[in-house]
Amino acid sequence: MKFLSSYRRIAVVCHPNADPDCLGSAYALRTAVRAASPRTEVEIVVPEGINAAASKMVESLRLEFVTSLPTECELAVFVDMPSLDQLPEIKAALHSRRTPYAIIDHHTPEKDSLEGAVFSITTRISSTCEIIYNSIPKKYLDRQSLLALLTGLIYDSRRFLIQPNSSISAAIRIIRRGTDYAAAVEMLLNDQDISERIAKLKGAARVRIYRARDWLFATSRVGSFEASVARSLVDLGADLALVASGDSGPSRVTGRLSERFQKATSLDLAESVMRPLAERFSGTGGGHPSAASAKTAAGEEEALAAALSLVSAALGLSQDELKEVSTQG
């Protein structure tokens, strides 16, 4: 707070498709900076939209944001994203104006972005909201901010499935400050869009299944909602799911691992699959060990095949260990 209070105008920048963890962090950070340093102006910048899970939160917190970087901003704070490459236009604007930036994040750090930051907190815990809660003197957090942080924490920990010991104990501390758990869960309840449900069912219909030792991998292609489809395939029983969209290219590939598979193999989907995939097809990639994605210049079939062979290489599988399981008859 001391560092941030030394600036007059701050922009808190959210990642593309901003989720409740990102927006909850931005909201609480803005409230806290305003409380600690009334002369500091803070704006939340959402340059590339919010995701469906965050719409109710934005509505009920009356969360106001702008969509482009204010010209007078003296410091940009990136929340919940490790790399400026996710926002090329913002990156270019900061560079040309020589505006310093900070990173507050819980993903696998990206070296170049981290080294260029004037300030950073990167901790590998369940959510950025948990980092924000732990880092801010509690007198600067009002009830709404605590609710926003709890909502983001519940969302990103997948209701305490990820790093449960730390996420549960942080949630308890937030609840003890007078936040209602049910209200936070309520903010995440969302009647799922019909197009998302169609994407999930199409994703299941187009699945290709591979077996390697006792592991099952699933790949599929959809027009959108790749992350939701990949998560659904893991819920159906896949240890690893890779879902692509983008036909003949450019394409996006999103991957998810089951917790059990990630623990047993220590496969880091961000480092071993999505980053090299993006490098090979001149795109961008990153994420978490068990949830990551890449944008590539390749078509979806080529990108999926390459991702699958990166998985095989990372697991040390020989060619005849990976077999496709027929879905016919």
Q: How far apart are CA 141 and CA 126, in angstroms?
A: 20
Contact letters for Mn ion, residues 78-107 (x by CB under 5 A): --x---------------------------
- Which one of 15-23, 223-231, 280-288, 321-329 is the stretch in contact with Mn ion (CB under 5 A)? 15-23
Residues 79, 22 contacting (CB under 8 angstroms): yes
CB 323, min distance to Mn ion, A: 35
Residue pointed to by tokens 């690893």: 240
Give the side-chain half-sphere CA count within 13 A for 275.
16
Residue pointed to by tokens 């010991």: 165
Q: Which is nearer to Mn ion, 21 or 239 (CB)?
A: 21
Beta bridge partners of 77: 12, 102
Among 21, 130, 226, 300, binds Mn ion (CB under 5 A): 21
Backbone angles phi, psi at 58, to 5 degrees: -60, -40
Q: Which is nearer to Mn ion, 81 or 267 (CB)?
A: 81
Contact letters for Mn ion, residues 104-143 (x by CB under 5 A): ------------------------x---------------
- Cis peptide bond upstream of 100, omega within 30: no
Beta bridge partners of 13: 45, 78
CB 128, min distance to Mn ion, A: 5
CB 215, min distance to Mn ion, A: 27
- Which one of 19-27, 163-171, 203-211, 247-255 is the stretch in contact with Mn ion (CB under 5 A)? 19-27
Among 156, 226, 268, 300, binds Mn ion (CB under 5 A): 156
CB 197, min distance to Mn ion, A: 24
- Which one of 21-29, 33-41, 250-258, 301-309 is the stretch in contact with Mn ion (CB under 5 A)? 21-29
CB 156, min distance to Mn ion, A: 4
Q: How far apart are CA 136 and CA 32, in angstroms?
A: 8
Q: How far is CA 139 from CA 2, 36, 117, 133, 178, in A?
A: 14, 9, 27, 11, 13
Q: Which is nearer to Mn ion, 163 or 309 (CB)?
A: 163
Q: Which residue is nearest to Mn ion (CB)?
A: 21
Q: How far apart are CA 111 and CA 210, in angstroms?
A: 34
CB 16, min distance to Mn ion, A: 13
Classify residue 274 by its DSSP letter. Answer: I
Beta strands in the chain (DSSP E): 9-13, 41-45, 75-79, 101-105, 119-122, 208-212, 215-221, 240-245, 251-257, 284-287, 291-296, 322-325
> Long-range CB contacts (< 8 A, 24+ apart) of 232-237?
232/200, 232/203, 232/204, 233/203, 233/204, 233/207, 234/258, 236/204
CB 152, min distance to Mn ion, A: 7
Contact letters for Mn ion, residues 225-264 (x by CB under 5 A): ----------------------------------------
Contact letters for Mn ion, residues 41-80 (x by CB under 5 A): ---------------------------------------x
CB 33, min distance to Mn ion, A: 20
Kindly state the tokens that stand for 116: 């260029």
CB 288, min distance to Mn ion, A: 8
Q: Which of 34, 1, 290, 287 is nearest to 134 (CA)?
A: 1
Q: Which residues, 275 to 304, sit near Mn ion by CB under 5 A?
A: none
Q: State the residues that interact with Mn ion by CB under 5 A.
A: 21, 80, 128, 156
